[in-house]
């Protein structure tokens, strides 16, 4: 049993195993049926989620596990119980894994100090979203037949994006030509860029890339205060029918229609992989369960 908290904790071989295993599960339902029989998984989300939370649940149930969602607003945390005591008491009930999403960066690492039960990180603050990075890698491998040496540009609210940071670690494992683009107020300071290229303009950001990944403006983190308006953002940083690239387009969701991506591209562009990412999210999380629990 092991925790699954950050891409930086994984080797290249481990990521490759997860990607290939997810695709095996996608091609053969018999490969995962009953894998988690008699396992119990507890999910605790301190932030809203549709895709991540649902796909973790579907993945667990298809593999035969029992899945328990805890609404933190109705938990003893609201009565004043500390996070430490919550995890200690839940651990005493002997579940087989915790799925945790939290608005504080580093929260899953914090919890992992107090329990040997695997912590699977479903997103922590602005730091990590490792299961998203794995499902994206599954989608990239399925599309291009490789992960090594890809040209990838991530456009949008980089500073607040745990997805961008997880892909930064992924890029180191597979020697990607990774670049970022977005409003200056949404680009990170150079301390953690580590030679990642900042594109000069949108044309360069969209040119000669295997994959362009778009990020939404994270209004819940008040990043909308860093731009004049969403309309202005769409004008200078959004993709529409006038500038659609010859690259595959990805997005971790949720998409803000007609901001980072115009509706006509979202609904009709044949090189959009966005729903494919969602589909692959279930199989990627199956592979993560097997990696941590079996």
* 92, 172: one domain: no
- Mean per-residue pLDDT, 55-70: 97
- Residue 48 pLDDT level (bands cut at 50, 70, 90): confident
Question: Has residue 1 been placed in a domain?
Answer: no
* 24, 71: one domain: yes
pLDDT of 146 > 80? The answer is yes
* 167, 120: one domain: no
| pLDDT (0 to 100) of residue 220 | 58
Q: What distance in Å separates the CA atoms of residue 200 and residue 194, rounded to the nearest whole number?
A: 17
* 162, 73: one domain: no
pLDDT of 141 > 80? The answer is yes
Question: Has residue 219 been placed in a domain?
Answer: yes
Instruction: Show the tokens assigned to 207.
Output: 């040119």
**At 30, which CATH number?**
3.40.50.1370
Poorest-confidence range of 27-31, 65-69, 265-269, 283-287? 265-269
Q: For residues 6 and 121, is the Cβ–Cβ distance under 8 A?
A: yes
Task: Give the whole-number percent of the chain exceeding pLDDT 90.
Answer: 79
Instruction: Show the tokens assigned to 41.
Output: 């998984």
Nearest to 151 by CA among 206, 201, 190, 214: 206
* 249, 152: one domain: yes
* 62, 184: one domain: no
* 219, 185: one domain: yes
Q: Domain limits at 86?
A: 7-128+280-293
pLDDT of 71 > 60? The answer is yes
- Residue 287 pLDDT level (bands cut at 50, 70, 90): very high
- Sign for the pseudo-dihedral over CA of 141, 122, 4, 109: positive
* 261, 135: one domain: yes
Higher pLDDT, 70 or 20: 20
* 141, 263: one domain: yes
* 22, 161: one domain: no
Nearest to 176 by CA among 195, 189, 158, 157: 195
| pLDDT (0 to 100) of residue 219 | 63
In angstroms, the Cα distances linking 12 to 27, 63, 89, 151, 194 are 23, 26, 35, 18, 19
- Residue 258 pLDDT level (bands cut at 50, 70, 90): very high
Question: Has residue 66 been placed in a domain?
Answer: yes
- Mean per-residue pLDDT, 116-128: 96
* 138, 249: one domain: yes
On average, the pLDDT of the chain sits at 92
Count: domains in the chain: 2
Residues 6+ apart with CB under 8 A from 37: 64, 65
Question: Has residue 48 been placed in a domain?
Answer: yes
Instruction: Express each pLDDT in 166-225 by its tens digit.
Output: 999 999 999 999 999 999 888 987 766 777 999 999 999 999 999 999 998 876 555 556
Residue found by looking up tokens 């008491």 in the block: 89
* 135, 268: one domain: yes
Question: Has residue 242 been placed in a domain?
Answer: yes
Q: For residues 66 and 41, is the Cβ–Cβ distance under 8 A?
A: yes
Task: Give the whole-number percent of the chain exceeding pLDDT 70.
Answer: 94
Question: Has residue 78 been placed in a domain?
Answer: yes
Pairing of strands 151-155, 248-250: unpaired
Question: Has residue 2 been placed in a domain?
Answer: no
Q: For residues 201 and 173, is the Cβ–Cβ distance under 8 A?
A: no
pLDDT of 260 > 90? The answer is yes
Q: What distance in Å separates the CA atoms of residue 73 and residue 89, rounded to the nearest whole number?
A: 17
Nearest to 36 by CA among 55, 57, 10: 57
Question: Has residue 260 been placed in a domain?
Answer: yes
């Amino acid at each position: 049993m092991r925790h699954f908290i950050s891409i930086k904790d994984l080797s290249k071989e481990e990521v490759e195993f997860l990607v290939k295993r997810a695709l095996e599960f996608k091609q053969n339902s018999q490969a995962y049926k009953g894998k988690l029989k008699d396992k119990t998984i507890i999910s605790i989300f301190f932030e809203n989620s549709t895709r991540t939370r649902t796909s973790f649940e579907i993945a667990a149930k298809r593999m035969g596990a029992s899945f328990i969602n805890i609404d933190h607003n109705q938990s003893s945390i609201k009565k004043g119980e500390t996070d430490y005591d919550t995890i200690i008491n839940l651990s005493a009930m002997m579940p087989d894994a915790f799925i945790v999403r939290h608005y504080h960066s580093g929260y899953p690492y914090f919890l992992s100090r107090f329990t040997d039960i695997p912590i699977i990180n479903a997103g922590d603050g602005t730091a990590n979203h490792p299961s998203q990075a794995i499902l994206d890698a599954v989608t990239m491998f399925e599309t291009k037949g490789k992960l090594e040496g890809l040209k990838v540009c991530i456009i949008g609210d980089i500073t607040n994006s745990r997805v961008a940071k997880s892909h930064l670690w992924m890029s180191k494992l597979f020697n990607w030509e990774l670049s970022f683009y977005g409003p200056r107020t949404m680009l990170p300071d150079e301390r953690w860029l580590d030679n990642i290229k900042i594109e000069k303009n949108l044309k360069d950001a969209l040119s000669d890339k295997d994959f362009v990944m778009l990020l939404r403006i994270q209004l819940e983190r008040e990043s909308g205060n860093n731009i004049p308006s969403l309309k202005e953002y769409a004008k200078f940083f959004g993709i529409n029918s006038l500038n659609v690239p010859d690259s595959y387009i990805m997005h971790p969701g949720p998409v803000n229609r007609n901001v980072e991506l115009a509706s006509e591209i979202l609904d009709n562009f044949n090189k959009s992989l966005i729903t494919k990412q969602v589909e692959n999210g279930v199989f990627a999380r199956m592979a993560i369960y097997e990696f941590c629990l079996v």
